[in-house]
Copies of this chain bind each other. A is one copy, B any other.
Amino acid sequence: MPFGAEPMTLAEKAYDALRRDIVSGALKPGAPLRMAQLSDRYGMGFSPLREALNRLQAERLVTSVALKGFSVAPLSMAEMWDAKNTRILIESRALRLSIEQGGDEWEAGIVGSLHALLLQAVRGTASEADARALEARHHAFHHALLSACGSGWLMDFFQRLYVESERYRHPMLAPRPGEPARDVQAEHEALAKATLARDADLACALLADHYRRTAQWVERMMTRPGQQADPVGEPIAGSVD
């Protein structure tokens, strides 16, 4: 039996698939998730789907009302800003701890994941697979930065907030005309450099800036009406504050 081949239950597959489709926006925020529909879409019975939905509910990706079923958790500007602020709080602490405690392996992880990220970035995001690879490497890089913090709780919160932010970023990955091209990768490089130089203050400032800018960018995209399938739930008309 091949090395990493762990068994995978249907419930886990359902969890992965649902998570991906929610984060990518394929399932629109606010949309109700009907069991029959999901059963069709993913080719499985109710039981594994319900288990997945319950897990996702605990992660705030779906909501549920007692006997009315599940929905994709809605998105809102307020929530995005909240997530951004909390992210800065959590990751600043984790980054400082990592800078204090990180060893050679940690540094190697940062350098390596940054390199992989840049490679994929120049390759572009023509295909869907490329886009997914970029996202994965982006996550890996940010994870690597914090990975030496030694706190399971901080890493857990980091993961949660990362997913949340992904929901806002992903639907508008396509570059928009008239939008000043932002050199995200330069920010990543500067962040890595400050981190490896063990300059905690600078690194945290860069990190905070990085997220602030991303948030502002997302807000610009989302509040510009039309021209982009708005990722903020249509079912609930005026939920956009």
A-side residues, CB < 8 A to B, are 6-9, 11-12, 47, 50-52, 54-60, 66-67, 79, 82-83, 85-86, 89-90, 93, 150-154, 156-157, 161
- In the complex, which residues of chain B have a beta carbon less than 8 angstroms from the beta carbon of A8? 66
CB-contact partner of A57 in B47, B55, B93, under 8 A = B55
Asked whether B86 lies within 8 Å of A153 as measured between CB atoms, the reply is yes
Q: Report the copy number of this chain in the oligomer.
A: 2
10 example contacts (A-B, Cβ-Cβ < 8 A) are as follows: A7-B66, A12-B66, A56-B58, A82-B151, A82-B152, A82-B153, A83-B153, A86-B154, A86-B157, A157-B157
A124: min CB distance to chain B, Å: 33
CB-contact partner of A59 in B47, B58, B67, B93, under 8 A = B58
- In the complex, which residues of chain B have a beta carbon less than 8 angstroms from the beta carbon of A150? 82
Q: How far is the CA of A58 from the CA of B11 in the complex (A)?
A: 14
- In the complex, which residues of chain B have a beta carbon less than 8 angstroms from the beta carbon of A9? 66-67
- In the complex, which residues of chain B have a beta carbon less than 8 angstroms from the beta carbon of A56? 58
Top 7 nearest A-B pairs (CB, nearest first) are: A58-B58, A86-B153, A54-B54, A51-B54, A55-B58, A54-B55, A7-B66
Q: How far is the CA of A37 from the CA of B51 in the complex (A)?
A: 19
Q: How far is the CA of A154 from the CA of B79 in the complex (A)?
A: 11
Chain B's closest residue to A161 (CB) is B153
Other than A54-B54, A89-B93, give 4 A-B pairs with Cβ distance below 8 A: A47-B50, A60-B156, A79-B152, A83-B153
- In the complex, which residues of chain B have a beta carbon less than 8 angstroms from the beta carbon of A52? 54
Given the known A-B contacts A60-B156, A66-B6, A66-B8, are A85 and B151 also in contact in the complex, defined by CB atoms under 8 Å? yes
